[in-house]
Chain A
């Protein structure tokens, strides 16, 4: 009897080891951090990587808390500008990553200095963003070759650490804030590594970047733009958006879609935007006003940090078991939720 139980446990263990990685999903979050960049990658094995931390320590730490992140194995800082590395010192102190990578170019800002001080204080393994591979279980990060010599125009942006992520047949290219000079360098030095499923569009969709030849070489089905709502930098640029549209590349934007989750089993992938940008507030009609639920003006999903007017189309997509109702806006805000960017309650 004991032998049978033991064999079953061994059998289950073998199934777990060999089957789980094939069927389990890799979750890639392009976090809504406002005007900046941050992406969190959660492997099926539980390992976690963070690429950039955005412009606010409060926002990124809230995201990490909301997603119940209790470990970060790898941090990549694309470059030293504050819209990509703010809060890194606190993240390093809290999570003590096993490896940290950046382009190896210093900056004089206190935000950058605090990040470097935290790496020294917590004795974190530091690696320069030179050509190399980092494996996180079945997930492979390939650091693209830096420009040689380094580009001295828009130095920090152009020399961003550019990383390709591969999970079986699925791939993403993280481009930091590279501009057209670096795009050209990548075409010369790594054109065989550029073709991907998902492109993190360079430099928040700025006109400084996304040369047609580079975008065609990356050949993505989906492009992600990380930028803040109503930002003053004209990100993303209209002509850049037209280019992607003309190439039939589907665009998702954190300023419109909130946090964007890309889920993949290594073969197929699905995109789950926090906000359905096609959803518009419904016109209020008499029937709605006569509804018994009128005293509840606001609604949210238990699983979301966003609340809506009760007649927003987004609310229709919330299952009854997850639906929460609020009578006042204050009540909704007090539940630690923020207003939907579409219906703007």
Chain B
């Protein structure tokens, strides 16, 4: 479990600072934080890979691309 600190809020973004060195900051949408979050709060962030959803999107989009590829006859193009 990684720990981070909320440095500040800028509009719809929370600027998050790493505790571990080297210190870096990154933006996270405020919508992703608990409602009562405030500057200086320490966050614990766990990120989980959703392999099922990844595969679903991959297949859906690949099917769309495959339908486009069918048009291509491999020829040179003159415009």
Contacts and interface: CB of A to CB of B under 8 A. Distances in A.
Interface string B56-79: 011001101101110110111111
A135 B78 CA distance: 5
Nearest to A74: B79
Interface stretch (A103-111, A149-157, A272-280): A103-111
B53 to A, nearest CB: 9
B54 interface: yes
A314 to B, nearest CB: 31
Contact of B62 (A106, A127, A136): A106
Interface stretch (A113-121, A215-223, A331-339): A113-121
Contacts of A119: 68
A7 interface: no
Nearest to A117: B64
Contacts, number: 58
Interface string A122-143: 0001111010111110000000
A113 B58 CA distance: 10
Contact of B61 (A47, A108, A134): A108
Contact of B77 (A107, A117, A127): A127
A98 interface: yes
B77 A134 contact: yes
Contacts of A120: 64, 67-68
The size class of the interface chain B forms with chain A is 10 to 19
A22 B19 CA distance: 62
Given A106-B61, A126-B72, A136 B79 contact: yes
Nearest to A133: B76
A116 B77 contact: no
A112 B60 CA distance: 12
B62 to A, nearest CB: 5
A72 to B, nearest CB: 11
Given A127-B77, A133-B77, A135-B77, A113 B61 contact: yes
Interface of A: 47, 73-74, 98-99, 104, 106-108, 112-113, 116-117, 119-120, 125-128, 130, 132-136
Given A104-B69, A132-B75, 9 more contacts: A99-B77, A106-B62, A108-B54, A116-B64, A116-B68, A117-B64, A127-B77, A134-B76, A134-B77
12 contacts: A73-B79, A98-B79, A99-B77, A116-B65, A120-B64, A126-B69, A126-B71, A127-B77, A132-B75, A132-B77, A135-B79, A136-B79
